[in-house]
Amino acid sequence: MAGRRLTLSANSVLLCLKVFSGAESLSIRDRIMAMQLLPFHRPEVTDDEIQSVVETLRSGWLTTGPKVKRFEQDFAEYLGCRHAVAVNSGTAALHLALEAIGIKEGDEVIVPTVTFAATAEVVLYFRATPVLVDCLPDTLNVDPKQIERAITAKTKAIIPVHFGGQPCDMNSILELAKHHHLKVIEDAAHALPAAYQGRKVGTIGDITCFSFYATKTITTGEGGMATTENPEWADRMRMMSLHGISLDAWDRYTDKGSWYYEIIRPGYKYNLTDIAAALGIVQLKKSDQFWQARHRIAAHYHLAFADLPEIQVPASIPDIQHAWHLYVIQLNIERLRIDRRDFIQALKSENIGTSVHFIPLHLHPFYRDGFGYKPTDFPQASAIFERIVSLPIYPSMTETDVRDVIVAVRKLVKEYRR
């Protein structure tokens, strides 16, 4: 069992104390489990965030208003982009981005198979087709050569996903897009803050979409942001995020407020609340500090696993800043007497929480059955899926937490080495 966590006997003491005190609201088992396991993720929320949210709650203005405006301005300034449109999820940002560039029924949009559901499902909202492509074996980012092979006369856009926070090969992707007149909508759900050859992610493609879901590098609970240099797309996304009503109707949310508005298009209900933005404003201020902490943890892991041929650590391409949202190791299963599923289970027995990013889309019933995709269509992603394990990486991990992860991984490798 990893050193610092409660031992069985300490748990037993706790259990006895709780039983005898009779003051049990959580189940004892839940409580003990919570105290033992190093969770895969824990959001960084301190009194600063709580105070900011409470101020907003007391202000009398809960929905989209001054805090959202401030969050957008701060975000645009942080990245150095012209426009930032806040919405209530990363999925909403992706949906609005595709709408803004004019995706229509019958269009094709190229999407990596190694991603979360959202990246492809937003294409289906338009009755357009997400065309899945394979990844590179080292970074797990989309393979530009496979993008090129997938381009047809119907292709309208590419959605590169900066997997785990490591920027994709944007030079190749932008070159392909230029050559074939395609738009590039970056899925940067993992990539704040990240940079590619000196350019911050959020200032590179046509539109970039961020997520502030609870596990992301900064969070608003649920939330997202779309960034772009194009004022028409920004206006369009802002308008469509609030029922497609005229932009000046947003003044309803200021002291210029008026009862009058016009519906320009049938839009969506994707606006962010001021409550969420109050959290986001404070989190954004800490984004670099959070990154430093994750970067340090990644460096510890790299060093600690460098001598283990059974573990492949994440590859880093030169001249990028990796956001380190995820730290995904690949198990060289040929060298181990344990498969990925049991490795995760064994880590759990060592009280280390982990996850898997991602089950490639082509292996899910909807894409497998609906599109007839086979594992052999995506040899890299299919093979990698059997090997990947995401280790905990978040700022509040103590040195002991990081050490516990390292000790547990090394212990299992030693135990199950062929």
Ligand X SMILES: Cc1ncc(COP(=O)(O)O)c(C=O)c1O
- Beta pairing class for 388-391 and 195-196: unpaired
Question: Cβ(223)–Cβ(280) under 8 Å?
Answer: yes
The CB-of-416 to ligand X minimum distance in angstroms stands at 30
CA dihedral 308, 313, 318, 323 (to 10 degrees): -150
271 in contact with ligand X (CB under 6 A): no
Angle of the 28-36 helix axis to the 8-21 helix axis, nearest 10: 150
The CB-of-390 to ligand X minimum distance in angstroms stands at 11
134 in contact with ligand X (CB under 6 A): no
H or E element that contains 278 = helix 274-285
The piece of 38-46, 87-95, 178-186, 366-374 that touches ligand X (CB under 6 A) is 87-95
CB nearer ligand X, residue 115 or residue 139: 115
**109 CB-near residues (< 8 Å, 6+ apart):** 98, 103, 123, 128, 129, 130, 131, 155, 156, 157, 158, 159
Contact residue for ligand X among 64, 119, 166, 380 (CB under 6 A): 119
113 in contact with ligand X (CB under 6 A): no
- Residue of 216, 256, 269, 411 marked catalytic: 216
Show contacts with ligand X in window 368-407 (CB under 6 A). Answer: none
Sheet holding 320-321, edge to edge: 199-200, 195-196, 320-321
- Between CA 209 and CA 247 the distance in angstroms is 21
For ligand X, what does the binding mask look like between residues 215 and 234, x meaning CB under 6 A?
A: ---------x----------
- Between CA 250 and CA 364 the distance in angstroms is 40
- Beta pairing class for 327-331 and 388-391: antiparallel
The piece of 49-57, 114-122, 197-205, 359-367 that touches ligand X (CB under 6 A) is 114-122
Question: Cβ(391)–Cβ(409) under 8 Å?
Answer: yes
123 in contact with ligand X (CB under 6 A): no
The piece of 67-75, 110-118, 127-135, 236-244 that touches ligand X (CB under 6 A) is 110-118
The CB-of-224 to ligand X minimum distance in angstroms stands at 5
Residues that bind ligand X (rule: CB under 6 A) add up to a total of: 14
CB nearer ligand X, residue 32 or residue 192: 192
Which residue intervals of 144-201 are DSSP H helices?
A: 144-150, 170-180
The CB-of-323 to ligand X minimum distance in angstroms stands at 12
For ligand X, what does the binding mask look like between residues 168 and 207, x meaning CB under 6 A?
A: -------------------x-xx-----------------
Tokens 């990028």 -> residue: 320
The piece of 22-30, 89-97, 125-133, 362-370 that touches ligand X (CB under 6 A) is 89-97
Contact residue for ligand X among 89, 228, 354, 390 (CB under 6 A): 89
The piece of 1-9, 115-123, 171-179, 327-335 that touches ligand X (CB under 6 A) is 115-123
The SS3 call for residue 312 is: strand
Please indicate whether residue 216 is annotated as part of the active site: yes
The CB-of-117 to ligand X minimum distance in angstroms stands at 8
- Between CA 50 and CA 272 the distance in angstroms is 18
With CA atoms as reference, report the closest residue to 383 among 313, 346, 333, 337.
333
C-alpha distance from residue 58 to each of 6, 51, 61, 97 (Å): 40, 10, 8, 34
52 in contact with ligand X (CB under 6 A): no
Contact residue for ligand X among 126, 213, 327, 385 (CB under 6 A): 213
CB nearer ligand X, residue 215 or residue 316: 215
Contact residue for ligand X among 71, 75, 116, 327 (CB under 6 A): 116
CB nearer ligand X, residue 238 or residue 325: 325
Show contacts with ligand X in window 315-334 (CB under 6 A). Answer: none
The CB-of-54 to ligand X minimum distance in angstroms stands at 24
- Between CA 357 and CA 328 the distance in angstroms is 8
**382 CB-near residues (< 8 Å, 6+ apart):** 360, 362, 363, 375, 376
**Catalytic positions:** 216
Q: Binding residues for ligand X, per CB under 6 A?
A: 89-91, 115-116, 118-119, 161, 187, 189-190, 211, 213, 224
